[in-house]
Structure 1
Amino acid sequence: MKRHALHAGLAALTLIAGLLTAAPPAAAATTTFPFAATADSYVSSSSPNANFNGTNSLAVGAAPTRISYLQFTVTRLVDPVSTARLRLHVQNTANAPSPNGGTAQEAGTGWSESTLTYANRPAPVGAPLASLATVRANTWYELDVTSAVTGNGLVAFALSSTNPDGAFYDSRESGTYAPMLVITTGPPQTGDNVLLNAGDISACSTTGATQTAQIVAREPGTVMAGGDLTDSGTAAQLADCYDPTWGQFKDRTKPILGNHDYISSTTAKPTFDYFGAVLPPGKGYYSFDKAGWHIVVLNTNCSRVGGCQAGSPQEKWLRADLAAHPNRCTLAQYHHPLFSSGGRESSAVRPLFQALYDAGAEIVINGHNHQYERFAPQNPAGVAEPDRGIREWVVGTGGRPLMSTFPAPAANSQVKNGTTFGVLKLTLSTNAYSWQFLPVAGKTFTDSGTGTCH
């Protein structure tokens, strides 16, 4: 009898221990509420008594003075507001791009879009909430207006610009491109356990990096800039194209080097200089810890760092680093993928993948192909191993022109998309992780799920 009682007690203790060591419960969830504008129009000093509601445009500018007004009816909120973002779409007009997209302020709500004029316009309330720099045609932009949204009820905004080269946005009558107020409720997110991943970022001739930067701007977390940061790695491109977009987040960025970062310089000196001490000089491979995970950044421009083969300086460093950090959960990020359906995979990185596999790593994230692809856990030979394999992502969706086709279907590929710019958000927890692909405004493709560490 005592033996049975002892066995039952041990079983109960084992069950309790298992529950205690399992992944912790997720933090209280946030909820997102999108609200369409209930009224919007603009006014112009050149026609102080005119109403422009019939134009289907929202204009800002300084010659003449043009101010846009938007009003939203906020309902159904129960929890406190954590973020509020005013989302606007630039029309395809002859004056785009505009060097100044405007500044948002709170405005009074006692106006009607059918009677609003410059002469009877409500005065802005309080300090400026947020501003837009250069805006381009056919592109979504967001302004953080959180401080003006405290709960349910009417809220209105005025958008104005001091630049004579005005900007034009779609009004609520445009349907798909109508203004939106996107409110998130719930506990504030600190981002201490979040990685935001995308590579192939800034092509100076396209607006993709501007769009994905809007995602990063609203998401707290460490930014993993996954290589090919500019067209050819020049100091001018970093200053003119990367810095105004993803360069806004330089203080929370962990950069990865891609092949384009070496085009203008065989040593990638401009990129090393731009990021400073975060990139070990001449190497570009390093590691850090976050939320109980060990994160490894590798440089797969193999010929620039003495090779990636077994016994190379980087491969030896990697094995030593992994041995010195026997964390239960390990993630690696580098530019060139070992597996891809996009036809640009690199067998040269297999020894690095092997070292990660030998150490029990969970995740590898790559770029190079301007696409999104997620693989099932697999070993270095490409054989599926659900219980031990590494899950690989290709996230080359940071802004460079996308590659819509997948000419070389790869085994174990689970999800593919080649038409959507976006950012992979990884949320790390003890012994587990979750992922979500965040598309740019106006796009609907996404991908999400959870996984556990080996």
Structure 2
Amino acid sequence: MRSRTRKLSLIAVGVVAATFLGTAAAVAAPAIDNGWPYASAAKAHDDKAYTLAAVGDIACEPNDSDNAGNPAALKCGSPSLGGYAAEFATAKQADAMKPDAVALLGDEQYQVGKLSDFEGSFEQAWGGLKFLEKPAPGNHEYYSYTKKGDNEAGQNGTGYFAYFNGHDQSGAPNTSGQAGDDTSANQGWYSYNLGNWHIISLNVECNSAAFNNDCSTTDNGLLAQETTWLASDLKSNRQECTIAYWHQPTFSATTAATSTVAASAPGAGGQEGQVADAWWKLLYADHATLVLNGHEHAYAHLKPMNPDGQYDPKHGIPEFIIGTGGEALDTLAKNADGSFANSNVVTGYDQGYGTMKLTLKEHSYSYSYTPALAGAGQPASALNYSDSGSGECK
């Protein structure tokens, strides 16, 4: 366990307990020490236990005039999606946690995250928690969507930043706010503190015009600058415990991401997962406590891993995939005998929607995940799943 002097305090969301780990009402927004635009009222340090709710992949595309030409199967109301019922269920679950902060793990709004989409869907369910929300963007906030008969241009984060950071009368986003900076030099990565916890939100959507379609972490591009920032942020951090989150996971749990690359290999989720391998190496060297991701529409709890995806109980970082915010569900990747394709998956759930609760103590944490709503066509027993446990900071 590393010993660090304390600095500022502040606030992000999992049928078995993990033995290898050892175990809302809206309130005033807590202070953030890197990118939070409002004054801090938090104490420099305390031993309070903080509640962090975390989830991604949330809101269906509203069936409104702005989306009139888009396929009905991709909109709220489609029987193949979780729809409003799911996003309201997960928001209610998060609110009941009375969180100090809510970590949003990307793809907050489908299909391309226009401002009107955020206002017509995400806001309806999750708007009551808005000033506790610490988002990271996903591919649906940046990239175009041209699947399943749809043809929508990518927003490059415009709707995402306009919603979370505010905007002018024409809809142009403010250049800073609770989603971090929206500038040519910073596309919404930032860090903040909750008691003895340092929490980092990253943007991995590098195959976009905002990043110059440059996914290198070592050249002079924007993603390389973000990676350099991460290294500097970790070096200057004085909190004992660290969480990092971004959208596409480095290591995979679902069939959608494992068709060409072994599930346990770095970057199974595509180029963004490969990019995040560089971040995993930095976090591993810094003895980070947890990594949270979305993108895969399921819940998965993975063992502590080194950057090669090997089980490392002493120094490895556990990964939680929490892509069950409400939009839709994917299928967990399994072998013919029913075991998980990625042997590092301890437990997983793909039958319903839910939000993770993390309780962050001074030197340790506990977590719990239970579903808030079963998926379409799932039996009532789908709501019986749970995963909980605890661990210590390194």
- For the aligned pair, the TM-score class normalised by the smaller chain equals 0.5 to 0.7
Name the structure 1 match of 2:346: 414
Question: Equivalent residue of 2:352, what SS?
Answer: coil
Q: Does 1:241 align with 2:121?
A: yes
Identity, % of aligned positions: 29
Name the structure 1 match of 2:182: 281
Note the 1:4-403 alignment, pairs <5 A. Answer: 193-204=50-61, 205=76, 206=83, 207-221=85-99, 222-231=101-110, 232-262=112-142, 263=144, 264-276=153-165, 277-279=177-179, 280-282=181-183, 283-304=187-208, 305=211, 306-307=214-215, 309-310=217-218, 312-343=224-255, 344=257, 345=269, 346-403=273-330
For 1:293-328, what per-residue CA distance to the aligned partner results, in whole angstroms no more than 9, with x for missing partners? 100000011234353524511110000000010422
Q: CA deviation at 1:291?
A: 2.0
Question: Equivalent residue of 1:245, what SS?
Answer: helix
Question: Equivalent residue of 2:305, what SS?
Answer: coil
Tell me, yes or no, if the aligned pair for 1:307 and 1:313 is still in contact at 8 Å. no
For 1:206-235, what per-residue CA distance to the aligned partner results, in whole angstroms no more than 9, with x for missing partners? 121111111022111111111111112011
Length-normalised TM-score, structure 1: 0.56
Q: CA deviation at 1:266?
A: 4.1
CA–CA separation in structure 1 for the residues paired with 2:55 and 2:141: 15
For 1:149-170, what per-residue CA distance to the aligned partner results, in whole angstroms no more than 9, with x for missing partners? xxxxxxxxxxxxxxxxxxxxxx
CA–CA separation in structure 2 for the residues paired with 1:389 and 1:308: 25
Tell me, yes or no, if the aligned pair for 1:300 and 1:308 is still in contact at 8 Å. no
Structure 2 alignment gaps of length 5 or more = 2-23, 25-47, 62-75, 77-82, 145-152, 166-176, 258-268, 335-339, 374-379
CA–CA separation in structure 2 for the residues paired with 1:228 and 1:376: 24
Which protein is richer in strand relative to its size? Answer: 1
CA–CA separation in structure 2 for the residues paired with 1:397 and 1:193: 22
Equivalent residue letter for 1:272: F
CA–CA separation in structure 1 for the residues paired with 2:274 and 2:343: 15
Length-normalised TM-score, structure 2: 0.64
CA–CA separation in structure 1 for the residues paired with 2:342 and 2:236: 33
CA–CA separation in structure 1 for the residues paired with 2:119 and 2:333: 33
CA–CA separation in structure 2 for the residues paired with 1:212 and 1:235: 21
| Distance change (3 Å), C-alpha of 1:389 and 1:195 | same
CA–CA separation in structure 2 for the residues paired with 1:298 and 1:411: 27
RMSD between aligned residues: 2.2
Name the structure 2 match of 1:68: none
Tell me, yes or no, if the aligned pair for 1:192 and 1:290 is still in contact at 8 Å. no
Which of the pair has the greater relative contact order for Cα pairs under 8 Å at 6+ separation? Answer: 2
| Segments ≥4 residues shifted beyond 6 Å | none
Aligned length: 268
Tell me, yes or no, if the aligned pair for 2:253 and 2:296 is still in contact at 8 Å. no
Equivalent residue letter for 2:124: P
